[in-house]
Amino acid sequence: MKATAKRTLTPRAVVLATAAAVALIGGTGAATAFADDDGGPAPQSSVQLSHNERHLDDTAKDRAQVKADKISQSQATAKALQAVPGTATSAELDNDDRNGSLVWEAEVFGKDHKNHEVIIDAGSGKALSQHTDRDDDAAQDAAETQALLKTDNTGHDNATDQALKAVPGTVVSYSLDDNADRNGSLIWEVDVLGKDHKSHDVTIDAASGKILNQHVDHDDNDSQGDNDGDDGDDD
């Protein structure tokens, strides 16, 4: 997935630093810890990308991931919310560089008023792990998330629906962002792999649900066109 400069409500680096605090999903079986590519155990998904696929340029990698993915972002979000009841603030289709395991990484503000990350197997839809933000600033981060969610009138479902109306295709990520580096407004940022086989970034006003901006991602040198087959539709 492409790197962005946005500051999401639950910074991934903070959440992933707590991989040792993995909880059991539903109280049955041992959960598999997910950590970033700097160390720690890799996720064990039922779907993997090949070595070549996981090192493609951004848009080509999006195509490979969408082709291998078996569940939509809405299904992945629903599974995450089963594991942690609350409000989803982001989800991203991503893979581990070491073993190619393809997963959905979902961030949820739980009914316990804490930030959680849930890792969903992109093949089976099973929750592989769930961990709570236990960083020193976790309480402050959670309070900020709660305050911002009070101003969100759109929600992830409506945001992704709006994005897909603007760009038919498949959602590969979405996130609620306080847009602090720009004008401070609350927005939903949705990445869509379009039916044109290009990656699109769609920005949606969280208060009104209106689309503020939409552009094609040109941050890589990918020139692959229509030879990857049908990417399908998201739901």
Q: What is the pLDDT of residues 180-225, one digit of tens each?
A: 556 778 999 999 999 999 999 999 999 999 999 999 987 644 444 4
Report pLDDT digits (tens) over 9-22.
Answer: 443 333 333 333 33
Closest listed residue to residue 56, CA positions, set 16, 10, 95: 95
Span 68-107, pLDDT tens digits: 999 999 999 999 999 999 999 999 999 998 899 999 999 9
Per DSSP, helices labelled H in 150-203 are 155-166
Distance CA 69, CA 187 (A): 26
Query: Could you tell me how many residues make up the chain?
Result: 235
Which value, in Å, is the radius of gyration of the alpha carbons in the chain? 17
Q: What is the pLDDT of residue 170?
A: 98
From the list 150, 194, 149, 158, the residue with the least C-alpha distance to 176 is 149
Is the pLDDT confidence value at 123 over 80? yes
Mean pLDDT value across the chain: 81
Q: DSSP for 78-93?
A: HHHHHHS-EEEEEEEE
- pLDDT > 90: percent of the chain: 66
Which whole number is the average pLDDT over 40-59?
90
